[in-house]
Copies of this chain bind each other. A is one copy, B any other.
Amino acid sequence: MINLTKSEEDYLKALFQLLTEGGKSKIGNNQLAEYLNVSPASTNNMVKKLKAKDYIVSERYGKLELTDQGIEIAVRLIRKHRLWETFLYNYLNFSWDEVHEVAEQLEHIKSRKLVDELDRFMEYPKVDPHGEMIPDADGAYNITPKVTLSSLKEGDICKLAAVNDASVSFLRYVSQIGLALSSTIEIVEIRDFDKSICIRFDDTVETVTKKFADNVFVKIIS
C-alpha cells in the first residue's frame, strides 16, 4: 500500500469507477481494458500484479473485485481528482472542459498534506465543478446511485446533478446548449425509433441523443 506506480493507480481507479458507477454486475478483464484504452493482454498482466499485491481479487476467468485496500487507493485518487478540478475551476479560471485533463495528472502527485491542505484552503467543498461528490479525508465516499437522463420517461421532471467529465467535446456541448448544474429539465418526448430525447429547460427545447443522455446524471423531482 505504500507506493504504487501511476499505472497501477490508474487501473485501480478505473476498476472502481466501473464497479460503482457503471451499473454492470460483472466487470471483467476486457471491460477494464476497453475503459483504459489498453489491450486485454496488458490488463491481464496488471491485474495479475495487483492481485499479488492484494488490491484486487478474482478467480481465473472470473469477475474482478477490489479489496478494501484497493478501494481506499481508488477513493483517494477520486478525492484528489475532484479537489484539483475544483481548484482549477474556482481559482485558476479553467473551464468545465479543461479541468479533467490536468486533474488526471495532478491526482498522481504523492503528498497527503498537499491534498488535505488544498481541501482546507478551499473550505472543504462538497462537490466538484461537474456536480460529483468529493470524498472526505477519511475516505468516506457517498455513493449516490447514478440516474442517467436516458433512464427517465416522458413527462418526468428532474434536476441536472452531474455530468461525466471524461469527454471534452461532450462538456463543450453541454455548456453550449445552455445546460448547467441544477438546471431543471423536463422530458418532453422520447422518440422511439432512435431513442433521442426532447427536453425542455429554461425556456429552451432541445433534442439530444441517447448517447448524450447517458452521460448526464440527474435527480428526479417528479
Contacts and interface: CB of A to CB of B under 8 A. Distances in A.
Nearest to A119: B92
A114 interface: yes
Interface stretch (A22-30, A104-112, A182-190): A104-112
Contact of A114 (B88, B109, B117, B120): B88
Contact of A92 (B93, B94, B101, B117): B117
A113 B98 contact: yes
User: How many identical chains are in the complex?
Assistant: 2
A208 interface: no
A121 B109 CA distance: 21
Q: How large is the interface on A (under 10, 10 to 19, 20 to 34, 35 or more residues)?
A: 10 to 19
A93 B114 contact: no
Q: For chain A, what secondary structure do more than half of its interface residues adopt (helix, strand, loop), or is it mixed?
A: helix
A39 B102 CA distance: 33
Contacts of A94: 113, 117
Nearest to A117: B92
Contacts of A102: 109, 111, 113-114
Interface of A: 88, 91-94, 98, 101-102, 105-106, 109-111, 113-114, 117-118, 120-121
